[in-house]
Amino acid sequence: MSTPAASTRFPRRTLALAVTFSALALATLTGCGGTSATGAGPGTAARPAAAPDRVEPLAPAPLPALPVTAASADGRQVTVTAADRIVPLSGSLNEIVQTLGLGPQVVARDITATFEQAAQLPVVTRGHDVSAESVLSLRPTLVLAETTSGPAEAIRQIRDAGVPLLVVAPAKSLDDVPKRIETIAAALGVKDAGARLNERTAERIAAARKAIPASTASGKKPRVAFLYLRGTASVYLLGGSDSGAASLLEAAGAVDTGKESGLGKDFTPITSEALAAAAPDAVLVMSKGLESVGGTDGLVKIPGVAQTPAGMDRRVVTVDDGVLLNYGPRTDQVLSSLISQLYGKTA
């Protein structure tokens, strides 16, 4: 799924769901971006002031040691001879490259890379589809893609032009954070920087988790349902064990009710029965998704939501689309936000 934010795999996989559930009038999704939620009611979970939407690059910037040959997630071996013109095809990949200290070498972005350092770069996607022509016009020396990047024809066209294109395995849990950073750092010839970034990221995630109340470990854990919403396209989905949110919620000391309910796939259409079985104390939504349904007032009008403990108490937890499921260098910020909203304290 990237966002998401996203990860950014998220919109493409949700689009596939829209086709699968055509009988429910699921439609083409709009792009994800980090926006603030609106319409929050008096019972909405307390939200800390949003941190600036920017990444924190390592300093000093590393010097790539190239060439290197890296294993691509699609089974190919990719040789990288230069990293002076990098095109990451997702916000998550862009974030990692920029945080490694190689921001000046990034020459483009997709629509989900909305953070400050990337915001002014040219966009090489139309919606969530890669434009091979736009990519090639920037004369890239390396293109970084997700397993969900496409269409396949565009990826093939970029490769046929002789541009090294590395596909990176998706991230769905905290365990994937160091793997992604290590993979990208190695492909860019900056393995030492990758090790430094992994150490910093692990320390910050551990520090964020210290804000979980001690009573949570032995007492009742908050039950949270992850909902993916795009009101403008009539997309209302309940996250299951493969949605990507379970690991975050568990790291925040909560229970992912979709996973606990036995929803084994990524997403399923919201039904009153499914929500009643999940009985969440709070719902987690992306900021833009909440905005698309008219804020908390609109959220509780979705069938079944108002009848849950979360709906009755208007307990809504939001995180910006562009970062929630990225599983990268800013995951500690996601955890801090989740923890502070769930437990009513600043992490």
Which parts of the chain sit beneath pLDDT 70? 1-51, 217-218, 345-347
Tokens of 310: 């979360």
- Quote the radius of gyration of the chain (alpha carbons, Å): 20
- Please report the pLDDT score of residue 46 as a whole number: 47
Q: Give residue-wise pLDDT tens across range 267-289.
A: 999 999 999 989 999 999 999 99
- Please report the pLDDT score of residue 152 as a whole number: 97
In angstroms, the CA 326 to CA 305 distance is 27
- Please report the pLDDT score of residue 218 as a whole number: 63
pTM equals 0.84
- Please report the pLDDT score of residue 17 as a whole number: 38
Cα dihedral 319/325/330/333 (nearest 10):
30
Burial zone of 147 (CB within 10 Å; 0-12 exposed, 13-18 middle, 19+ buried): middle
In angstroms, the CA 310 to CA 326 distance is 25
- Please report the pLDDT score of residue 220 as a whole number: 87
In angstroms, the CA 303 to CA 314 distance is 14
CA distances from 150 to 129, 147, 294 (A): 6, 8, 31
Helix (H, G, I), strand (E, B) or coil at 286: strand
Burial zone of 22 (CB within 10 Å; 0-12 exposed, 13-18 middle, 19+ buried): exposed
In angstroms, the CA 54 to CA 57 distance is 9
Q: Give residue-wise pLDDT tens across range 191-230.
A: 999 999 999 999 999 999 999 998 876 678 999 999 999 9
- Please report the pLDDT score of residue 29 as a whole number: 31
- Please report the pLDDT score of residue 44 as a whole number: 47
Residue 230, beta-bridge partner list: 235
